[in-house]
Structure 1
């Protein structure tokens, strides 16, 4: 057979310092914004209405921050995680510029860590991925680590390199947009609360739940051009560990973000990803709930403050009823996402 197709990289194909230029830049359209809303039901005013965005100084409604993340992430999959077992975590992510319909996104990644797993069959690959717009300006910069299959289990293990990633993004480095809140209308936003109304230690049960449909999570992976086999190919995954496709972890992030509107409606800007982990798999038919905790607050210069938020998503049971951790120090059964991030909010 012809050797022109791309089988994806296996663990032994990666090297420290390796630069990966990901193919197929993507122009973001208003249609994708509408489809993203159809998939996740987000109601954040800034991303929903040109008028709401223009009232605070934007030219129009920007693309949802997590949609930007998913598109950039999807660019990286053929080179980084096509042969993944699981995406394990995120750190040091920063959203640096708004993206608008008509902008074109491209991505590159640098390998910053490698460590073979004890089973000798897989290894963990750490990458720093960067998304840029058509002007070459960085809109998103983040690190992630993913478990990748080995092509040859007898291949020698590389010298382990595990990057030292910070446990949080310094709020002084957050890219706060230049906004004017003179015409900020809490009735349009959906809640009257502002920065000073949220306190460290406060927990918010987002109340609602949303069931994952097979068609929806498959549509999402195609929307992001995420071709990882674990999400995309029932023929191969039917013979795998779970017997079915895993729901893309980013799908859970966006579901939890959509749910968080009920309680965090004014937190309209995602500024950074401090840490995140997909702690258990989700499948079509699972129902996702979420709660959030305020971990830290930062009073930034200008009209916006920053909330450090932990959002925990659980499946098949109201999130408020779940203990966060079990007595054994492991995540409680049913917890599927633990996401630590900075969001910006009007003072």
Structure 2
């Protein structure tokens, strides 16, 4: 099977929102009047971002989900995406499953594949996603202010816990492992919440490399610091309700685990009812876990309000082993 036969069989679908999709040298899209284009790209490399044993349908889902999560953090509505795919060989069964997972999520968010590239090489998936957001309403990292509340969506740490089990560092009950593995392999991009937070949240980011690391990007861009209430944050590791995860591991998973693809965001205290309404509207749970402060840095506070001395390190592609 040649390159163009591969594209036609597994990835070419009619477009409805784009002006021109796959088949020409460039796709053509029109920005809606009064809107800005939001653009983001992510690369997934076998052995670095996913295991070779992952279900290809799950991999197709995740490859797009991590990009949609960036749009969610910006408050943008998905519009279209480009797919660049390096394959060691043509495997029809793998491609069929991968494309099914990819398009199931794409169709759920009305996000059309409009172009890309394929080549032979080590398995590598690169997606560029495009969305739109009303002019001036995008959520940015630079708007947090001292006194703002600090929130996260969903749960944290489940994906890291699954990874620890894969590495053989911990043994999980079968049901817990199944749930955490699903969180690692098929994350849910919080697109609806991101759009619902327009005009409410003062700053936002998605949690891809760990809560402390991604919150740190907000704090640096905004010139502020934060205090996190650890007892509240501990409730965000979903499996703790059914299985007693050791505290040290739980703290690592929650604070620096990564691969959660939840949103961390800030909002003024007077907007608490609006944040709750956005949570209900988007059917996405949110938890207030701390406060933005004027002093730089992040303090993680224990039950007595004392800062933990332990340091937590979020994922870094070039620092990680």
Normalised TM-score (structure 2) = 0.25
Normalised TM-score (structure 1) = 0.23
The structure with the largest strand share of the pair is 1
The structure with the largest helix share of the pair is 2
